[in-house]
């Protein structure tokens, strides 16, 4: 069997605000079945940064997340502002605002999807090296963030012990640290 994309018959935003747009699509699948409404979340593009200091410590943040009602560890990340096409510039801005850290070296590693089933946006993943604190953070009105430098091994232990739950950020950490040859994602022979 050959997989085929669904055909979109119509598309309409049913909810729009500054953080999210909810789109209702009327689709026809590969078998001719109508699927309506199929809801898609249209978020802005996101930038996520795996940030290393000159000593290869990770710049980690902790903040309250109301959706899950938890205070959890994360990597610095943020939204690309409306109409902004300079994703590296957005990453630099978000890192400085959230943590007060800056760096010269921002390397775009890859684009990831938060959820291909119902999100339309991408995560632009940057590996940032040799970051140093250059100012105090400048939080947005809803942000209250604690920044902490951590050895890579400590962050990996947080993941293993279920004390770091943000799955997209964990994925970004593992991909970027592997890219930097600081951890291995090679499978072991059984």
pLDDT in tens, 16-68: 998 889 999 999 999 999 999 999 999 999 999 999 999 999 999 999 999 99
Looking at the structure of the chain, the number of domains it has is 2
Per-residue pLDDT for 128 more than 80?
Answer: yes
CB neighbour list of residue 113: distance below 8 Å, 6 or more residues apart: 119, 121, 122, 123
Confirm if 40 and 25 have CB atoms less than 8 A apart. Answer: yes
Q: Identify whether 189 is part of a domain.
A: no
27-to-1, 37, 83 alpha-carbon distances in Å: 20, 8, 28
90 plus 21 within the same structural domain: no
59 plus 134 within the same structural domain: yes
86 plus 112 within the same structural domain: yes
Q: Identify whether 168 is part of a domain.
A: yes
pLDDT on residue 142: 82
Per-residue pLDDT for 83 more than 80?
Answer: no
23 plus 104 within the same structural domain: no
Per-residue pLDDT for 84 more than 90?
Answer: no
161 plus 175 within the same structural domain: yes
Average of per-residue pLDDT across 142-154? 95
Q: Look up the domain containing 99 and give its range.
A: 46-179
35 plus 91 within the same structural domain: no
Whether the pTM exceeds 0.85: the reply is yes
What CATH number corresponds to the domain at position 69? Answer: 3.90.79.10
83 plus 166 within the same structural domain: yes
38 plus 68 within the same structural domain: no
34 plus 87 within the same structural domain: no
11-to-27, 50, 127 alpha-carbon distances in Å: 9, 36, 36
Q: Identify whether 22 is part of a domain.
A: yes
153 plus 133 within the same structural domain: yes
111-to-47, 121, 164 alpha-carbon distances in Å: 9, 10, 22
**Mean pLDDT (the chain, rounded):** 95
pLDDT tens sequence across 85-115: 899 999 999 999 999 999 999 999 999 999 9
């Amino acid at each position: 069997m050959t997989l085929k994309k669904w055909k979109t018959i119509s598309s309409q935003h049913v909810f729009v605000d500054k953080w999210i747009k909810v789109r209702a699509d009327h689709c026809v699948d590969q078998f001719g079945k109508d699927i309506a409404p199929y809801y898609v979340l249209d978020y802005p593009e996101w930038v996520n940064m795996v940030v290393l200091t000159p000593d290869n410590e990770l710049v980690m943040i902790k903040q309250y997340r109301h959706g899950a009602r938890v205070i959890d560890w994360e990597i610095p990340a943020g939204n690309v502002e409306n109409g902004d096409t300079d994703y590296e510039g957005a990453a630099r801005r978000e890192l400085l605002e959230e943590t007060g850290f800056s760096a010269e070296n921002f390397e775009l590693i890859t684009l990831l999807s938060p959820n291909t089933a119902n999100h339309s946006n991408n995560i632009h993943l940057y590996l940032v090296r040799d970051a140093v604190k250059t100012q105090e953070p400048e939080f947005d009105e809803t942000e209250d963030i604690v920044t902490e430098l951590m050895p890579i091994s400590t962050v990996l232990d947080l993941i293993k012990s279920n004390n770091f739950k943000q799955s997209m950020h964990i994925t970004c950490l593992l991909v970027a640290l592997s890219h930097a040859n600081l951890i291995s994602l090679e499978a072991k022979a059984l």
